[in-house]
Amino acid sequence: MKMGQGVLPKRTYFLWVSAKDCVHVHLDLTRCGLMFTLTTNLANWMAAVVDESVHQAYSHSNASHARLAADPERVGSQAGGDCACATTVCQIFERGYFYLYPFNIEYSLFASTMLYVMWKNVGRLLASSTHGHGHGHTHSRGSLFRETFFVGPVLGLMLLLVGLAVFIIYEVQVSGDGDHTQQALVIYYSFNIACLGLMTLVSLSGSVIYRFDHRAMDHHKNPTRTLDVALLMGAALGQYAISYYSIVAVVVGVPRDTLGALNLAHALLMIAQHTFQNVFIIESLHRGPPGAEPHDAPPKEPCLTFTNPDALHALPSCPPTPRSVSPGLVGPQEATAIILAPRAHWRRRCLKDISLFLLLCNIILWIMPAFGARPHFSNKVEVDFYGYSLWAAIVNICLPFGIFYRMHAVSSLLEVYVLA
């Protein structure tokens, strides 16, 4: 950990300068170096997350994280041994360490994500005029939300802001007495149930929209897409495990109160949301670029619409045109070829709204556990059923995968937004 943080400025400078590079020389050596650096960052992140999870577990079992942070003598004796912290500046840094440490943890995850994008860009050919599968999409600064209905981004931003407020309330009240803790858990579970329910419905709606999409499916061998799907499915197993054990504890254990019902609904919706979101993302990544037709579709013949009504009977089967031509505008002997506007424009805008909404929701669901929200220990249902040691082991092993899933889902949904 300390060795990794010693080269922190160098890593930041390397990512800052080389993030947009598409290397075309020494491809194997470059991929090997990037993958080695990526796995090193992931190892640092997982070690830090496990340490933080263990710290959170012990702080909730003994007293609370806030009480630990507010006790200078105890923190000083653990962190610095016999070194006493007597100055005000020292106490500020000492207490701020508990709140800045999650940023240090997530730096490694952000670095891993950027390195993964750089690994995908090795040997990539960018076309400036064509729109390939993930290539050639050049959006200007003001056109990020131009092809959306603004419903998804606005609703996602509202949930993001409400989630931040809920997270602050949870962190403040969960360290209080029993009534305040239960109230904080009810608020936390209620927000998560509402957010997960909306995400499940939106993901299902996106999959339904794809049923009416006639773009060609891309079944070609694609190592980066295969790795994306494997990471999504593998990382989701961590949250599946936590939800499964929570369901068993709530159904079998006692008592069955309001908090237990909220916990059960939260676990069930967590499984449903991960499943439908994975289906939507995987199906999006396997779609061809906009405008691509299925390979087995017959070529479309151009259709001419004549102003002479008698000439219409000579045409075999002409699809209806979205607009009519006024006889007074053209002569009786002239023919006008009408280019049909793509009817899938509304589907593309809906898919962009869906991807942005899911992206923002995944961000807030990543912020909460990454920065210290641990309802798994504040809610005593699982702890009383499994015992503290077993439940802490389950959470500390599976929760890092759940945090990584949210981060990887954000990057995948950003690619889905570009490909829509």
Query: Of 91, 126, 161, which residue is a domain's last?
Result: 126
Look at residue 301 and tell me if it is in a domain.
no
- Residue 334: pLDDT above 70? no
Most confident of 32-36, 65-69, 200-204: 200-204
Look at residue 296 and tell me if it is in a domain.
no
Look at residue 66 and tell me if it is in a domain.
yes
Mean pLDDT of 72-78: 44
What is the per-residue pLDDT for 6?
57
Encode pLDDT of 302-311 as tens digits: 444 444 555 4
The verdict on 120 and 150 lying in the same domain is: no
- Residue 345: pLDDT above 50? yes
Encode pLDDT of 209-257 as tens digits: 988 877 767 777 777 788 889 989 999 999 999 999 999 999 998 777 8
If one counts every other C-beta atom within 10 angstroms of the C-beta of residue 45, the result is 24
* Rounded percentage of the chain residues whose pLDDT exceeds 90: 28
The verdict on 19 and 65 lying in the same domain is: yes
Look at residue 165 and tell me if it is in a domain.
yes
In sequence order, which residues have a C-beta less than 8 Å from that of residue 86 and are 6 or more positions away? none
- Residue 279: pLDDT above 90? yes
Q: How many structural domains compose the chain?
A: 2
Look at residue 319 and tell me if it is in a domain.
no
Q: b/e map of 357-368 (b: 16 or more CB within 10 Å)? A: bbbbbbbbbbbb
In sequence order, which residues have a C-beta less than 8 Å from that of residue 269 and are 6 or more positions away? 192, 193, 196, 197, 200
Against a cut of 0.85, is the pTM above it? no
The verdict on 230 and 199 lying in the same domain is: yes
Mean pLDDT of 173-200: 90
More confident residue, 21 or 377: 377
More confident residue, 403 or 89: 403
Encode pLDDT of 347-401 as tens digits: 888 999 999 999 999 999 999 998 888 898 888 889 889 988 889 889 888 988 8
Range of the domain at 219: 144-291+343-420
- Residue 328: pLDDT above 70? no
The verdict on 115 and 232 lying in the same domain is: no
Average pLDDT, rounded, for the chain: 77
The verdict on 229 and 366 lying in the same domain is: yes
Residue spans of alpha helices (H) in 63-177: 65-69, 72-79, 88-121, 151-173
DSSP state of 320: P
Look at residue 310 and tell me if it is in a domain.
no
Look at residue 247 and tell me if it is in a domain.
yes
Amino acid in the structure at residue 208: V
User: At 270, is the pLDDT very low, low, confident or very high (cuts 50, 70, 90)?
Assistant: very high
Most confident of 48-62, 122-136, 222-236, 305-319: 222-236
Look at residue 254 and tell me if it is in a domain.
yes
**Which region among 7-16, 168-177, 314-323 has the lowest average model confidence (pLDDT)?**
314-323
The verdict on 149 and 236 lying in the same domain is: yes
The verdict on 63 and 203 lying in the same domain is: no
The verdict on 26 and 60 lying in the same domain is: yes
User: At 10, is the pLDDT very low, low, confident or very high (cuts 50, 70, 90)?
Assistant: confident
Q: What does each C-alpha distance from 419 to 32, 210, 344 come to in angstroms?
A: 28, 13, 14
